[in-house]
Amino acid sequence: MNALLSDSLSPGSEDLKEIDIDQIEPNNLQPRTRFDESRLNELAQSIMVNGVVQPILVRKLNNERYQIVAGERRWRAAQRTGLDKIPAVVRDVPDDKMLELALIENIQRQELNAIEEAHAYKRLIETLGLTQETVAQRVGRDRTFVTNYLRLLRLPEDIQQLVEESKISMGHARALLGLDDVSKQRSLAKNIVGQGLSVRETERLIKRIIDGTATTPSLQIKTEDANFRAAETKLRRLLGTKVRILSNSNGLGGKIEIQYYNDEDLQRIYEVLENPLTNVSSG
């Protein structure tokens, strides 16, 4: 166990034992919300060959039950191998230390994405009434570091999800905070993903947007493009209604607008889309 995690635990009885996996339950304060399936399978394969190298940390509950303080990923992987027992350090941990210790353990093992870490800091502040300075001290971070993570939670949830899915980096997310307009943030986030923009390129583009020398992509009708007109014509015939194809001004992506006039018309269009070949052949 690392030094910071050990130091954060309050003194008390400690015991290393093999515990039935079925007697253990996860920590409802676990800051980690995503468990990558492929990485879990990789860890399970490693456990099958080498066993559980590092014990998990648990606390004793009533009725011979235990709750994970740190190590849920190892516990989940061990379950996949069919192991009956798992090595665990049993420690007396009070409720007000559970989130803090789980956060520290995940941070030091670098197993949290930026949004998960930001939410964990927020929960520490809100549930324990801590200041950002105190949180930073307890988890071994600089206060500015914690502040920067908390700022990520100002972004719309869909952009936060892009960070969680590793489609954009924390650097990209921090740069997007430089735009006050949420619609511009979203539009630029799509550009980052679609064009593979680096953080530096994103920062330069944001500066140009703020200075008024660049704009985020807008949607436009490609009336001059024969391929787009032909595609619209085919879709109109297939769906029996007005259809417009709109393209981003930068040429990357766009959207298709399908018009309907009432609930019955919407149901008809849905049925055509559900079975396009059947409807084409019958027409």
Contact 93, 81 (CB under 8 A): no
| d(C-alpha 34, C-alpha 264), whole Å | 41
Residue 166: other Cβ atoms inside 10 A = 11
Q: The tokens of 190 are what? A: 């799509």
224-237 burial code (b ≥16 CB/10 A, e <16): eeeebeeebeebee
Q: The tokens of 282 are what? A: 């019958």
Residue with tokens 């936060």: 160
Q: Where are the alpha helices (DSSP H) in the chain?
A: 3-8, 37-50, 72-81, 95-108, 114-128, 132-139, 143-151, 157-164, 170-176, 182-195, 199-211, 226-239, 263-274, 276-282
Please indicate whether residue 37 is annotated as part of the active site: no
Longest dimension (CA), the chain: 78
- DSSP result, 163-230: HHTTSS-HHHHHHHTT---HHHHHHHHHHHHHHT--HHHHHHHHHHHHHTS-----EEE-TT-HHHHH
Residue 210: other Cβ atoms inside 10 A = 13
Active-site option among 14, 25, 72, 126: 72
Residues recognised as catalytic? 72
